[in-house]
Amino acid sequence: MSALDTGCGGQRWVPECYAQDCSLPGDDDARVPEIFCDALATAAVAASYADRPISSTDEWSKWEAEGLPAGLDIDPRDGTIRGTPERPGHYELQISAQAESAKVRSSTDCTLRVQDRLAVDTEQLPGHCVSAMDLANATMSSFLRPGTGDNSAIGCTDLAVIGPNDCPLGDGNGVRPPGVEVQWDCTLHGTPELDTRIGTHVWMVKVTQSGNEVFVPFCATRPAAADQKHQLSIRADDQDLDPYLPYLLDIDFEDALKFGTGAQDQTAPDPEFQFEDPDCASGECDAREVFLAASCSAFAPDEWSLDPFTALKDAGSRITGGSHGLQGKGNQTAAPIDKFTGRPWVSSLHLSYCTGAAQDDCTTPEDAQTLFTWSLIAYPHD
C-alpha cells in the first residue's frame, strides 16, 4: 500500500496497482441521487391520476418531464404527475430533477401506460345484465373489459328505487326488487322478493373508478311457476326470444325516445307477445285482455300501446289466446334526453294477462291470472 495523490482532492491509501477514475466521487463526496419511475401506476382515459417517481432522496426540486400525454402535468415542487389523460397509449417519458444535496441534475427514462376509458363487458352475460348468481361466482372487477380502467378499486352506487309504485316516470334507472341491495363494494346482498310477478327486474348501478363512471344493468329473475295460467312467448324477426331475459336495443335518438312499430333510429326488430291458455280449447276464451303499467320507464305511460292486438289461433282456427305488439315513445318533457345520452337506460313494463269465458271476467288488472314483468335495456348507438 502506498499514499497516492489522486488529484481528486487529496492523498489516499490504495494498492499500487490501483488506477483511480477521478470522474467518480470519492468517499467524502456526495453520491448522485437516483430517480426510479418504473413503478408508476397505470392511468386511464377520463380517470383522475396522481403518482410520483421513487427516488433515493427527498431533496429534489425543479422536477421536469418530457413525453407526458395530454391531460397530465408534473408538479415541479415534488414530482407528482397529476391530471386526467385524454388518449390511451404507452408513453415514453424522461423525468428529471435537481438534487440539492449533490448539486447535480439526475434523469431517468420510463413508460407510462394509459388504458382506455373504464368499461364493463356485460355482453358475456345472459341478458347483458349482472345477476346475483353472476356475483356469487365472481367479483364485479372480473366484468371490467380488458384494457380499460386504471386497475384501482371500484365502487358501486345503486340508482334504482325499490318496488314498482315508488319510481318517478322518466327516470330510466329501472326497478330494484325488495329484499336485495347493491353495496358500495359492488357485492349484491339479500334475496330478491319478487312476490307473484314472474319475469326479470332490471335496474341501473353506477360503477366508479378514480372519478370515472359507467352505468351497468343489474337484474333479478322469477321463473315461470308450475301452475301458471298462461304460457308466454315472445317472437321478433321470426325468432323465438326468451321472455325471461331483458330485451336489448341499440338505439340512436336525438329529439325523442321511440320504440316499436314505426319507431325511428331503432335497429332491433319489433317484438310480438303471445299468451296461450289451455282452457281456451274448450271455448272459454271470449275474454282476452292485457293490462299494461310502466314503472321507472324512460317513456310516459300514456304513450305506450299494445297495438296490434289480435286473437291467437291454432291450425284449426280455434282461439287459443291472444297476441299483441308493443309501442312506446317519449319526448323531452317525459324523459330529458341529456339524462340518457351516452349511457344505457331501462324501461320496466308490467303486463297482466287475463282470459275468461265471459267478457266481464277481465275488466280490471285485479282479474288477471298471470303477472309478468318485462324489461327493456337500451344502449346508446356507437
Calculate the CA 142 to chain-centre distance: 12
Cβ atoms of 137 and 28 within 8 Å: the answer is no
- What's the pLDDT score for residue 335? 46
- What's the pLDDT score for residue 168? 64
Residue-range domains of the chain with CATH: 25-115 (2.60.40.10), 122-380 (no CATH)
Q: What are phi and psi of 136, to 5 degrees?
A: -75, -25
Q: What share of the chain is helix, strand, coil (3-state, %, to 5)?
A: 10, 45, 45
User: 24-72, pLDDT tens digit by residue?
Assistant: 444 444 566 788 888 899 999 999 999 999 887 777 778 999 999 999 9
User: 266-289, pLDDT tens digit by residue?
Assistant: 555 678 999 999 888 776 688 899
- What's the pLDDT score for residue 289? 93
DSSP state of 337: G
Per-position pLDDT tens, the chain of length 382: 434 343 444 444 444 443 444 444 444 445 667 888 888 999 999 999 999 998 877 777 789 999 999 999 999 988 999 999 999 999 999 999 887 766 778 889 999 999 999 999 887 787 889 987 888 778 888 889 999 999 999 999 988 766 555 566 667 888 788 888 888 998 888 877 766 788 888 889 999 999 999 999 998 888 888 888 999 999 888 889 899 888 887 776 555 566 765 554 455 567 899 999 988 877 668 889 999 987 776 665 557 788 888 988 887 788 889 999 988 766 544 444 566 777 888 888 889 999 988 888 999 999 999 999 998 888 876 6
